[in-house]
Structure 1
């Protein structure tokens, strides 16, 4: 740098000879600083006014004063020099131009130093982005660094868009604004800041009219708070740049310059855009850091939640303690629906689980993921978040949280997810214990059925909690066998649970085994067993509807002594066998089977063969159109009354007798033969009730 000054001084000396002189410089239109003074004039330190060069890129002016003369030289990027000579010389334009050329290397060197400074500041800022975790402090530091390299700027503010309020709010500021600026809320499109955000475009203002025009859309409140936060004296230029993150505008960075002339330029805009990129990186890093931090916190909390639920589960106290812990963790009302025992833990006033069971099953039996669900109740819609409870590919229950998408937190989701796993384990554990109980009950009851010693029967009845002084009635319920054994087992558990809840005092023996539920009812002598049967049918009708499952119910006869349980059980089995042979669902009392008891063990194919063998002679009636088969059926339907049969068939009695004679001839029978009569009547009965 001293060599560059030597060249300038050498040229000056060649022009002004031994005259004293000073050299002053100004960078970024700041006040002039003296960089050289000859010994004879060091006492005169009057600072040249900055207004003379006006920040122009190319400006040369020679002014003569009474005691000295000054030559003003300006260069691009706001560099300016004043040569003050304490003598008067006749300067030609060529000499001034050459003098200016002698200053160019010095200017170039200063530019290099400035660029190096800018690079150092940028590197420092980038380093801070990597090291600093406080995003607010980091953004302020970036803003301060920007103002340090754009030295003509007096003040800067970073505005961030708040999606919840849809306002741009001040996030960081530097250069003097006080806390009043925090009261400002800029709409998208409002003022220079809102315009920059809306159009995602950088703007530079060096004209006061343009500044006033684009600021005129600001609200009175924002103008008031802006003026309260900072004193704008002679605003001259403004640069406003958008900041994007993942291709979406999120912020606006704006700087202001006061003074007498506009000094911000394109280079400053490019610099500010560089810092806006840093802000974007800082925001992205901050978002990523916060996300990682939240994920880490969530994992830690997830582990804590899991350990809490596991500790509760190890106590083997059932589902209620799990629900108690869950309520402590979530922020909204929660309930647990147990499809295994058909129970509900907790309460949601708008939720009638019984009416929603089939709907829930249809939706969640194939959906293992939690989701939001809308429940309608009393013409109102309620939003809930449902976490299915699955075990071995079977829907065991649901955890239902009353909430909406806006209020559901990540911790709520984690708590529901973790609780569902522990609840499933608890349900399966309970189901396993119940299976063992069912197996033991089945073995004990089977021993009871195969026992004929009255003393042993009495002992085993006591083991089964059967009151030996009451009347007994046995009912058997079979569920259609399914490929999914776990689902079949679940249906058995639900059915047994329902029956126990309805007949807790009337049915000492209720258990499920294989595809069958066995029930032993005990009744007082005065009780009507038909009322019990009706209650059982109603309960099972409701259960079939909500569980979408087919059942057959066989009910044995009522007996007065506990030793006759085996007989009632055998009759119930036959009633079920009858329903199976008829391929029917529903309820059948053994006493209502009647003559069909004789055919319970006969297959439909055997019955069909017998009917066809009896009626085949009448089916070959091709010679005329007389309905002999219909006539025969009507004859027995009317208890062999000729007049009633003729009336039903709308024919004369004599015509009926003629048809009956033809039937006898074709079938080679006689209606006076009791054996023939029984065979034909039985075929008509079976055709009507088994084959039709």
Structure 2
């Protein structure tokens, strides 16, 4: 207010007066914006000038006349807006009468009341305007940015403030909006019960803290938080600061706290200010809740729009019959991260030339995860990747491999989900076509086994990639054990077929899978090429033995010239397969390498073991064992009946050996010089090493 003049009855003319009030920081604040004159400035340098006892008997004020300044000085308490000391100075040439003093004090009280009412109406209008502004906002970010601005409009007696919201994830009160603070205020993240805000949030009750109370409440603030707060306020020490804080709550749920600071000489903060701030905070809670609901609704709507767009993109790819390379590229473009598609059954990458594919091509990508139908996060060659399974009938047949340069968003997962569905459909269609082709191969193979109409078969063989005039051999491979689910068995069979295709890429061949077996007819032009082809087939067996997969066994038939020998080579391949299966071993064996064991392929294993037992059981008696007769006989056979070599191997004298041989002949009732007896023992010894 400007310098004021007051006219009263009994005064000659107009008198000039000044009014001061005791501020919240216990300093006297001049209520008007006069230019002080020297003698007015000295009024407060000498407290003795002011009246502490009444010169005029009154219960409402104290007053005295100061002839030096030619002023009547007053001191009294006002209850508006709350109990506060007031000092007033009225310029006069004489001491005022009691009536004049009463009138003056009444006039000042009236002016203070008018000022308070005007301020209340102004602040109330600002408060209502702020509430309207809040309730009209639905964008959460915009709302948060305007909250503190509206607080300072509604309660102009504060200078700066900030809003903190509780974060469930970090369990911290985190600043979300501020006014008057520096940027480091957003590093001021406190626990429940920490500092002024933490205590008010914990108690759920708004409070006004004077400087002493505020400093006491801040004693448990962590050092890093205190540094952030001081830097935000631009001070090194907090002094003469009044703090008001209220909880922000929706119904019974506390969601945050509003904290405001008064650091300049203004009127004292009152309970009315506290109630107004709490009312504002309650409206803030409603506005934030509405904004969050709107944001969630908007996000959900946006998510649905994006999901629909994603569905449209992959539907178009499906209608265009796009290949796996195009699908993988589309997924990569839509999630904006490096993506490759890995086909488990073919052990093949799409696209194969991308940096990610090259980086992972020679790695054991799915070590231990081949059967997983869940998404996985693994690190390969120091590269974190996300594996999204492509599943058919509960069996993984491939994976999208995403290089995790950032965390995946929900919409990224939708892209992978839609992409994997299209890839699965594409791969299953390929499987169906492949199965139809294998069926045709199977039917043609059966025609070859019966070998009727040779000319027609020769013509058909060319359609299946064979040359009827070139030598050929047949191989049969079988997967057994570990697989109970048909779908998994088919997946492993496709893996095996893909491996065989890679190994036999340089040969002419016919290949098909049927049930748990894979049958192959291979054309060769020379013995060396046949040996090369057989070696590649054995390599497949060696590679398969290192996998956590069903047991692979295989038999290779002999090589022959002409399609009429397919049945013969096939029969030999099956005999080889039976031989290795009966032995309980794995791998792939060539029929030519079986030798004399061909004679026993079709013999029952139990019959062979019974024969071995009948021959050697007599040598298992305690007396025979004490002389090591079983070992002696086996060593004698292995040394081809050489006495010196057998004795040397057994570390015994030759005479001792002769003695043992006679005992063996007596116990077994044989003559080792008889060719028939010798053949029986030799055969039993050979078979015991196999069965």
Please tell me the TM-score bracket, short chain as reference: 0.7 to 0.9
Hey, what's the Cα distance between the residues in 2 that align with 1:89 and 1:429? 112
Cα distance, 1:372–1:59 mapped onto 2, change above 3 Å? farther
Whether 1:408 and 2:377 are equivalent positions in the alignment is: no
Secondary structure at the counterpart of residue 60 of structure 1: coil
1:518 match: secondary structure: strand
Partner SS state of residue 630, structure 2:
helix
Partner of 2:41: none
Written as runs of structure 1 = structure 2, the 5 A alignment for 1:504-583 is 504-525=505-526, 527-583=528-584
Offset at 1:673?
Answer: 4.2
Distance 1:597 1:197, change over 3 A: same
Counterpart of 1:275?
A: 280
Cα distance change on mapping 1:615 and 1:170 into 2, 3 Å = closer
Alpha-carbon distance in structure 2 between the residues aligned to 1:53 and 1:644: 124
Q: 1:45-444, aligned counterparts within 5 Å?
A: 49-51=18-20, 60-61=60-61, 74-78=78-82, 90=98, 131-135=136-140, 137-139=142-144, 142-143=147-148, 146-147=151-152, 150=155, 153=157, 155-158=159-162, 171=177, 173=179, 187-188=187-188, 196=196, 204-205=209-210, 238-241=242-245, 253-256=259-262, 258-259=264-265, 262-346=267-351, 347=354, 348=356, 351-359=359-367, 362-363=368-369, 365-366=371-372, 368-376=373-381, 381-404=382-405, 406-444=406-444
Distance in 2 separating the partners of 1:144 and 1:49 = 33
User: What's the counterpart of residue 23 of structure 1?
Assistant: none
State the superposition RMSD in angstroms.
Answer: 5.1
Change (3 A) 1:204 1:33: farther
Q: Decide whether the 8 Å contact of 1:336 with 1:400 is kept in 2.
A: yes
SS class of match (1:557): coil
TM superposition shift of 1:428: 2.3
Paired residues of 1:477 and 1:517 also in contact (CA < 8 A): yes
The superposition leaves residues 336-359 of structure 1 with CA deviations (integer Å, 9 ceiling, x where unpaired) of 111022111133167334431441
CA contact (8 A) 1:170 1:184 kept: no
Q: 1:241 to 1:655 in 2, by over 3 A?
A: same
Deviation at 1:519, TM superposition (A): 1.5
Cα displacement (A) at 1:645 = 3.1
- 1:290 Cα deviation after fit: 2.6
Q: Counterpart in 1 of 2:676?
A: 675
Change (3 A) 1:336 1:251: farther
Unpaired runs of 5+ residues, structure 1, are 1-29, 227-234
Contact 1:206 1:264 in 2 (8 A): no
Is the CA contact (8 Å cut-off) linking 2:343 and 2:397 kept in structure 1? yes
Deviations 1:65-115 (A, max 9, x none): 999999977225348999x9xxx975699x99xx99x99xxx9xx99x979
* Counterpart in the other structure of 2:48: none
- 1:232 corresponds in structure 2 to none
Q: Which residue of 2 aligns with 1:685?
A: 686
Which residue is equivalent to 1:10? none
> Do structure 1's residue 448 and structure 2's residue 448 form an aligned pair?
yes
Structure 1 residues 358 and 571: CA distance shift in structure 2, 3 A = farther
Cα–Cα, structure 1 residues 270 and 52, in superposed 2: closer, same or farther, change >3 Å?
A: closer
CA distance in 2, matches of 1:51, 1:636: 128
Residues 60 and 71 in structure 1, CA contact (< 8 A), matched pair in contact too:
no
Provide Cα deviations, 1:33-83, integer angstroms capped at 9, x if missing partner.
99xx99x99xx9999755268799x9933779999999977225348999x
Is the Cα contact below 8 Å between 2:197 and 2:259 reproduced in 1? Answer: no
> Structure 2: how far apart are the matches of 1:134 and 1:45?
57
- What does residue 475 of structure 1 align with? 475
Post-superposition offset of 1:669: 3.3
Matched residue of 1:483: which SS?
A: coil
Identify unmatched segments of 5+ residues in structure 2. 27-57, 91-95, 202-206, 220-224
2:637 is matched with 636
Q: Cα offset for 1:623?
A: 7.7
Residue 613 in structure 1 maps to residue 614 in structure 2: yes
CA distance in 1, matches of 2:226, 2:462: 95
**CA–CA distance in 2 between the matches of 1:237 and 1:643?**
112
2:445 and 2:624 mapped to 1: Cα distance? 63
SS at match of 1:317: coil
Matches of 1:216 and 1:685, distance apart in 2: 88
Alignment partners' CA distance in 2, 1:526 and 1:620: 51
Q: Distance in 1 between matches of 2:23 and 2:636?
A: 128
Shift in alpha-carbon separation, 1:451–1:137, aligned structure 2, 3 A? closer
1:611 shift after superposition: 1.2
Alpha-carbon distance, 1:189 to partner: 8.9
Distance change in 2, residues 1:71/1:91 (3 Å):
farther
Deviation at 1:578, TM superposition (A): 0.4
CA, structure 1 residues 239+607, in 2 after alignment: closer, same or farther (shift >3 Å)? Answer: same
Superposition deviation, residue 581 in structure 1: 0.6
Classify 1:681/1:572 alpha carbon distance in 2 versus 1 (closer, same or farther; 3 Å): same
Given that 2:619 and 2:625 are in contact with CA atoms closer than 8 Å, whether structure 1 keeps it comes out as no
- Partner of 1:528, secondary structure, is helix
| CA apart distance, 1:130 | 5.1
What TM-score do you get using the length of structure 1 for normalisation? 0.73
Q: Distance in 2 between matches of 1:373 and 1:611?
A: 53
CA 1:584–1:205 in structure 2 vs 1: closer, same or farther (change >3 Å)?
same
Which TM-score applies when normalising by structure 2? Answer: 0.73
Q: Aligned pair 1:591/2:553, yes or no?
A: no
**What secondary structure is seen at the aligned counterpart in 1 of 2:561?**
coil
Is the 2:140–2:295 contact (alpha carbons within 8 Å) kept by the matching residues of 1? no
Q: Secondary structure of the residue that 1:670 maps to in structure 2?
A: coil
Residues 241 and 276 of structure 1 are in contact (CA less than 8 Å); yes or no, is this contact kept in structure 2?
Answer: no
TM-fit CA distance, 1:269: 3.5
Report which stretch shifted further, 676-685 or 350-359: 350-359
CA distance in 1, matches of 2:607, 2:121: 106
1:669 match: secondary structure: coil
Q: Secondary structure at 2:498's aligned position in 1?
A: helix
Change (3 A) 1:544 1:639: closer
Cα 1:274–1:133, aligned 2, differ >3 Å: closer, same or farther? same
| CA shift in 2, pair 1:473/1:47, >3 Å | farther
In 2 relative to 1, CA 683–281 (structure 1 residues): closer, same or farther, beyond 3 Å? same
Q: 1:653 to 1:54 in 2, by over 3 A?
A: closer
Structure 2: how far apart are the matches of 1:391 and 1:250? 49
